Structure 1
């Protein structure tokens, strides 16, 4: 068994200059030289850093690995994230059987059949946003004009959250996922959002509508199976994840396609099947959840020639696993014609992303609609002047100035 070195490089999300779509170079080095090694976190503690696709799949499906963020040594991404762990406790940070008991409350709203039924409404939202962009004319920030309002509107309608409050919940979400946020700021944003959603769930218990939060209130709050706080935390997860991830995929994916004109043309002019495949490749290539899947070993685990001991922190770095040459030929090249379905952008195992079907629908409709409506779309400034979200828990761009 290989010895683990005492010194460990720092975990980093910093990309190489001129390579904003590629994982940090240190990750590639580790994947080749030390695929299972240690990294040092923001607080000086160490975690196992897992870089290969096969090892990550094995660990994420292993019952001996825990997603419980209340366990000692859980590898938080920042001081703010550490301070808000209690507010972040939802089914995605629970183990079985609690995880499945909580998750199944929402699975019916995110099935393929249910999300496919939303296609017409998503298309209407896309058309309305593009109408507004055309009417206002260039230049525009694609993030605020299109990428952010699209999934925000969709998740608000699904949950029953008033879209007119989007300014509040988008600002709070940004503070929560910003690794630079101070502890007081992160706590305040988390508490404000949970309180807002708690009030909303209580209101829906008295005056229900045809939305997910009304069903949550009727089935679990009114019956006493859940508390106001538990319902609010689950609602916060769905609201934040439901708009942050897809918004950044739309903007970052568009930015990447604009750097690859042939790939862009294939998406713009492609069949629905071709576009669906392109979305899988963009998910693989960009991997916006760039902080990794974070876990703690509940028991000793032998993997990759090493022993991960019970209590050890573990980070499954899905962005570099999606560039594993053992799984994907020429992994650093965007190729929308490849079969990329084995990517880990949505994770693997029992904690695989609940909202992946909805995200796929939004992305499959958004990219071609945008590129067909605005065939002359291009960046309004050079790529090196674009501000990328390296310090946010969800990678992407802060803004994407475009003209057409």
Structure 2
């Protein structure tokens, strides 16, 4: 029988209402009094063929799914109600929070999501932010007169931030999309693609995270343009940068959810069989393709080992993203061996170990071929949908073999299982 581990892990989005002639759909967070606007699917042209290199080239972007975006920038009162302190330079409860880094924004989002409400919060992607800012039209006007009506930007700001929502909203009912404070988005900064893209999420890594919208400090209208891009290291904070939330409804769960308890370890029987391991067109780590035979059945943990299970055996929880039902992480291979040793000292009739690499991949494939054993978004928490954190085990759809989160949550290159080979079968 196998146990599965998350060895290393790493890593908001609120949106509601479209007002462009269809009526505003609004929602409100009862505790934080956060209002959201529903943004419909659609398309727009992003970037320029002339101008700054960071905006080239012009390309069509398709937003395939509706989402909700905060009607206002997150205020200092909202930040303080969640985080217990206020880092802002310009103090006032109804002004946007600033001097918060991208990493700080992620911490705020994690705490919101731990409330287990009806929505999952995150930062919008860069494409979602710009699409919502344009509100169905061309790039927002950078004319000084129009900007004065819609934004606290430069001379009219008098050298400071202002209460959110005190300027004219855009066509979809969103306030301060230009000016007041720049707004962090989810993406790493990188070059734009040359062709048409759907729901882009930026590069997988980088040195700086993107922010948009301009701020009170910028007297040049061009810096408050919808399409103007800026970036900074994710751990840096400035009194000109804040953020706005996005959100999506959490998927309803029908009936009882099969979640691992603090002590109970559940396993799945894996039959003997064979599969093709590796690929001919991969890098040196996966080359070449070869047939692998698994000659004996074994059992593999149905879930990754949770923090509650680790704590029950080891007495401590080293994980960065705390949650009893979340996978344990920040544990080394040697730490896992000590966990297994303590399990085996219980003499419960089974012998526990990590699975071999071949056993793990065979079980993960569950009889399938190709890179992914099904719909990755439905089965896995990974870079594009995780919101920068782990999630409870069994919160994604099962794979063909009955496993949950066999891909995702933690990078598959850093995960193994904890296996209990030689478990007696009835």
Q: TM-score, normalised by structure 1?
A: 0.21
Larger radius of gyration: 2
Q: TM-score, normalised by structure 2?
A: 0.20
Structure with a larger share of its residues in strand: 2
Structure with a larger share of its residues in helix: 1
